[in-house]
Amino acid sequence: MRKNNLLYTAWVLILITGSMFSCKPKNAGDAVSGDAAQQVYVAPGKYDEFYNFVSGGFNGQLSVYGLPSGRLLKIVPIFSVFPENGYGYSEETKPMLNTSQGFVPWDDQHHLELSQTNGEIDGRWIFANANNTPRVARVDLSTFKTAEIIELPNSAGNHSSPFITENTEYVVAGTRFAVPMDNDNGDVPINTYRKNFKASISFISVDKNSGNMNLAFQLRVPPVDFDLSHAGKNKSHDWFFFSCYNTEQANTLLEVNASQRDKDFILAVNWKKLEEYAKQGKGKKEAVQYAHNVYDETKHMATSTIEKQVLVLDAKDFKDVCYFIPCPKSPHGCDVDPSGEYIVGSGKLAALIPVFSFDKIQQAIANKKFIGEYDGIPVIEYEAALYGEVKKPGLGPLHTEFDGRGNAITTMFVSSEIVKWNIKDLKVIDRQSTYYSPGHLCIPGGDTKKPNGKYVIVYNKITKDRYLPTGPELEQSAQLFDISGDKMKLLLDFPTVGEPHYAQAVAASLIRDKSVKYFDINKNQNPYVTKGEAESKVVRNGKRVDIYITQIRSHFSPDNIEGIKAGDEVYWHVTNLEQDWDIPHGFAIKSVPENAELLVMPGETQTYKWMPKKAGIYPFYCTDFCSALHQEMQGYVRVSSAESNVPLTFSTGKNLPDSATAPPLLDK
């Protein structure tokens, strides 16, 4: 009977949600006031005030927008091959997509986190998660390039990731799916879930100077599903808080079987004590395999190393590290206010928002106000940890961020709105409709000690009737609201690339002036660099041919190559000799189905592997507009049969046509 009631409730929610999108709301056309365009207008030649970093969802990339204009500035490839610049195609970047399972050219990128110092965004790096093949990446914000990717063993569904401590000591990643551990027998019946499946939380340390990541240790926890997380601040700095669901430990039809209980949990983890135990040698080292990929910006190339060991600490063995706090069922968000005192939980199926007190949690632990244990972990009494509840905020609360003025703003997925409420008195102040089904939102610095309460950006899952139709699927969208006053005000809709999930935003001034404009050619340590046209050459070693080729406006050197044979393994080592900002050069050859172009930054070297299969003349050219003579930036390579005796030759400007066969010129 209980299951039938739950199914009925689920259908009611679906019907409510569906009815919201069945027709255009009466006020959808006039939701934006008359002066909104002026507030988001950025004049030609002027910069946006904020960078907005938005997850790409199923495209595996990171999108960068300017705010308040909503202009797309860049797509940064991280976990997926990217033909626009050859990421994952060039020999230098292929190792970035290596895993313990081999080369993986796609992933699902959900969440982002900007690095912090003393609880404030420092503008150095942004971390990104890969949900499908569990990985965490670090993007360097001086180059907007992926600098490092580390795979996570003992994990599946790296959704609860990557969340950081307030000095970026650790990036933390929880698993969405419980699975048998890597060193266990994975060939077990699925319905032995409760016996054989476990979950992991990975703690990745970050070097405070270089940013280099290291999988420091993992926490083994009961087989529940972990969702969003945040670290504490100030007095709660030593703690991490994770929302988790499926406390029923179901393995089939979770929409019913993982919604049986009135409450799931927030897991509070004292990471500082856990770190101490790890340094003391507690826990157990397990044999695993995971890839650690690093891009060296001095060599302009990546390396991939397979690591084979991880330190694991089991939560049940350390009674002063982990505590469960009951939370309305199916929580998605877990957010900590700027003071570090208030922890907000959001149950997707709840009609209230619980706010927990860090001080009360500590008192409850000290006084052992527990209602029992869950798989060996103490469970704190709900009321003992609770500060209070926001009553009737809306339907389907998901994600909360803070405006720095004592208020919180929460997305309501089912009722399609954002709601502002006061943290202290828990009263709703304002609510505004969104279009439609908002998942996450972003206030610049909204999860730090010092939010910038000027804007909130809301990321909608559905955009029906907001844009021109483009077939069965419409692009997802973001909406920009002014939150500087008492009432929130919708300013702008703008479509986004992929499906936006989590996002971060920061004042542009923190990053803009640190941006690398070009790479010093004299510091290029790529083993195949060509630092001047006089050094360009073609070298054969058996069936391998290395072409050391340069680019500069507006020609290649060499640009005529002969003596390549069908079946050769040809490596084009392309160096861009430019030393000026915004002069990349592209490189592509006719009919290379297994490859894409290269986009080579000024002062950089990238390598293009080519396996010619048949004889012929193959043009190559620059794919990225670079000058008025961009069209003239081209060359030819001649491929002869494997049995031919055509000598290997190369030149620039010398292999001219026979003048006796030239057509008469029209200007004579």
CATH number where 525 lies: 2.60.40.420
Is residue 260 assigned to a domain?
Answer: yes
User: What is the domain count for the chain?
Assistant: 2
Q: What angle do CA 337, 412, 485 make, to 5 degrees?
A: 60
In 3D space, the residue among 228, 213, 92, 216 whose CA is nearest the CA of residue 158 turns out to be 228
- Among 481, 514, 547, where does a domain finish? 514
As a whole number of Å, the CA-based R_g of the chain is 28
Task: State whether the Cα torsion 303-304-307-312 is positive or negative.
Answer: positive
Element (H, E) at 218: strand 213-221
In 3D space, the residue among 472, 635, 468 whose CA is nearest the CA of residue 557 turns out to be 635
Q: What is the pLDDT of residue 7?
A: 40
Segments of the chain scoring below 70 in pLDDT: 1-33, 660, 665-668
CB neighbours of 14 closer than 8 A, spacing ≥ 6? none
Q: What angle do CA 652, 619, 638 make, to 5 degrees?
A: 70
The model carries a pTM of 0.95
Is residue 528 assigned to a domain?
Answer: yes
pLDDT in tens, 82-106: 999 999 999 999 999 999 999 999 9
Q: Is 292 in the same domain as 328? A: yes
- At position 496, the amino acid (one-letter code) is T
The percent of the chain in helix, strand and coil, each rounded to the nearest 5, is 15, 45, 45
Is residue 13 assigned to a domain?
Answer: no
Strands (E), 246-393: 263-270, 284-296, 301-314, 322-328, 331-336, 342-347, 352-357, 370-374, 377-380, 386-391
Is residue 31 assigned to a domain?
Answer: no
Q: What is the pLDDT of residue 32?
A: 63
Q: What is the pLDDT of residue 31?
A: 54
Greatest extent of the chain over all pairs of C-alpha atoms, in Å: 101
Q: Is 500 in the same domain as 583? A: no
Q: What is the pLDDT of residue 668?
A: 53
Q: Is 474 in the same domain as 532? A: no
The whole-angstrom separation of Cα 71 and Cα 152 is 34
Is residue 16 assigned to a domain?
Answer: no
Is residue 39 assigned to a domain?
Answer: no
User: Residue 395 pairs with which residues in a beta bridge?
Assistant: none
- Among 488, 514, 540, where does a domain finish? 514
Q: What is the pLDDT of residue 661?
A: 74
The whole-angstrom separation of Cα 330 and Cα 257 is 11
Is residue 21 assigned to a domain?
Answer: no
Q: Is 435 in the same domain as 563? A: no
Q: Is 493 in the same domain as 578? A: no
Q: Is 480 in the same domain as 546? A: no
Q: Is 210 in the same domain as 291? A: yes
- Among 462, 492, 514, where does a domain finish? 514
**Is the separation of the CB atoms in 467 and 495 below 8 Å?**
yes
Q: What is the pLDDT of residue 33?
A: 66
- Contacts of range 245-248, beta carbons closer than 8 Å, 24 or more positions apart: 245/329, 245/330, 245/331, 247/374
**Is the separation of the CB atoms in 574 and 551 below 8 Å?**
yes
Q: What is the pLDDT of residue 149?
A: 98
**Is the separation of the CB atoms in 100 and 289 below 8 Å?**
yes
- Domain residues for the domain of 611 are 521-651
Give the CA distances from residue 336 to residues 345, 376, 409, 439, in Å, rounded to whole numbers and listed in that order.
Answer: 9, 26, 12, 18
CATH number where 350 lies: 2.130.10.10
Is residue 36 assigned to a domain?
Answer: no
Q: Is 608 in the same domain as 506? A: no
Q: Is 212 in the same domain as 314? A: yes
Both tokens assigned to 211: 């940013």
pLDDT in tens, 576-613: 999 999 999 999 999 877 889 999 999 999 999 999 99
Q: Is 506 in the same domain as 531? A: no
Q: Is 425 in the same domain as 442? A: yes
**Is the separation of the CB atoms in 297 and 140 below 8 Å?**
yes
- Whose tokens are 């992926």? That residue is 146
Element (H, E) at 125: strand 120-130
Q: Is 423 in the same domain as 552? A: no
**Is the separation of the CB atoms in 487 and 430 below 8 Å?**
yes
In this structure, the chain runs to a length of 668
The whole-angstrom separation of Cα 201 and Cα 197 is 14
CB neighbours of 337 closer than 8 A, spacing ≥ 6? 233, 343, 344, 402, 408, 423
The whole-angstrom separation of Cα 220 and Cα 286 is 12
